[in-house]
Structure formats: C-alpha cells, structure tokens
A = this chain, B = another copy of it.
C-alpha cells in the first residue's frame, strides 16, 4: 500500500462515550466552572430530568465525582458540591507546588526545542494580554503554560494528580480581584520561569515554580478572607 500507516493513527478516534462517562465530564465541568455552586445539593431526580437519563448512570457518575473529591455523598441524604474551606486551599497549594517543582525538573531534562518554543509563544501571548489588562485571557494562557510544563515533564501520573488538584483549586476563582502589584509580580515570575526552562536549569525552575505557587496561594487566601470565603457566595 502506498498509504502511510501513520495516517490511521492520526484520525480522530471514534468516541463511544457511555452515558456515565459523559455525565462525569459534564458535571465536573459544571462544578469546576462554578455553574454548580459549592454546597449546592444534587438531587438525582432533578439532574435526571435535566440530562434526560435514568438514575443508574447518573448515580455512577456521582460516585466517581465523589472519589475525585468534587462532590460529597451522605448516605440516604444525597450528594452535594463540596465546600472548599480556607484550610483545604492552604493544604492544596504546597502539594501543587511540590508537583510543579518536580515537573519543572523533569521538563528541563526532557523538553525539546519545539516544546520550549511552544511555551515561549504562550508566554508572549500571556504578556500581551497582561499589557492589555485582559484578565480572563491572561489567566487562560497562564493555565496553559503550567499545563504545558507538566506535559513537557512526560510523566502521566504527575499530570493526572496535578490536573485533579488544579480542578479543585480552580473553583475558588481567585483570579477575580488581583492587585496590579501582584499581577506585575506574577508576570515577572513567569519571565524567570521561562528563562530557567530555556536554560534547562531544573533546580532553579523547581524553586521558582514552588515560590510562584506559594505567592498564588497567598492571593487566593487573601481573596477568600476578603469576601468571607468563596463557599459563602451562594447568593444567586
């Protein structure tokens, strides 16, 4: 055959998503994106009519989300979206810092020129958004950069754990009000992060990422303290 076999590997796989898989994805998005507020009850019947499915796949989905730490299930009392406390956030950030630090070390060892170029491009886009004060876009690029560093580390286990934590933390939506000073500092930190990655200085990148996450934590916690905790913002 003249056709290259690799063509077959590049075609989009036929996604035969079962209902429960689809429900897990949809519900997770709704929780992470804030559509389902922390503390909100998740009555099976209501969700069933909403998604047009029966209770069986829905319940399977809720169990999975519970094991991911996004919802809490009380026996005979149903599922609720978990409240993120300040203590939870304070716990999660050091762990994310450790994971990203490891990712930084591994990335410096494994990343190729194309990977660095990609992250550099994302970085410049992010800085452009910063100068235009486009917070949402800045935040999106910021997230992508961190994800790409994780990806460059080439460790699927590490990526999975980080993604899980990042999803939970993201619900705190701390980006809302960040001071101009902190924003400038964050961009400066990202400059140094990029420099360390380009120089493939693993130790330095690890330390930069750890500190970067620590500063992020301070912003989030200050923000939570300011509006009395994101958990309480349930007013429609």
Contact = CB atoms under 8 A, between A and B. Distances in A.
Contacts of A18: 75
A18 B63 CA distance: 12
A88 B56 contact: no
Interface in A38-73: 56, 59-61, 63-64, 66-69
A94 interface: yes
A95 B102 contact: yes
Contact of A60 (B60, B99, B102, B160): B60
Contacts of A56: 56
Contacts of A106: 94
A16 interface: yes
Contacts of A98: 98-99, 101-102
Contacts of A29: none
Contacts of A61: 63
B92 A157 contact: yes
Q: Is the interface of A mostly helix, strand, loop or mixed?
A: helix
Nearest to A92: B157
Contact of A63 (B64, B88, B94): B64
A34 to B, nearest CB: 21
Nearest to A156: B91
Contacts of A30: none
A20 interface: yes
A178 interface: no
A140 to B, nearest CB: 25
A158 interface: yes
Nearest to A165: B157
Contacts of A63: 20, 60-61, 63-64
Given A91-B156, A95-B155, A98-B102, 18 more contacts: A18-B75, A20-B63, A56-B56, A60-B60, A60-B63, A64-B64, A64-B66, A64-B67, A67-B68, A92-B157, A94-B158, A95-B99, A95-B102, A95-B157, A98-B98, A98-B101, A157-B165, A161-B161
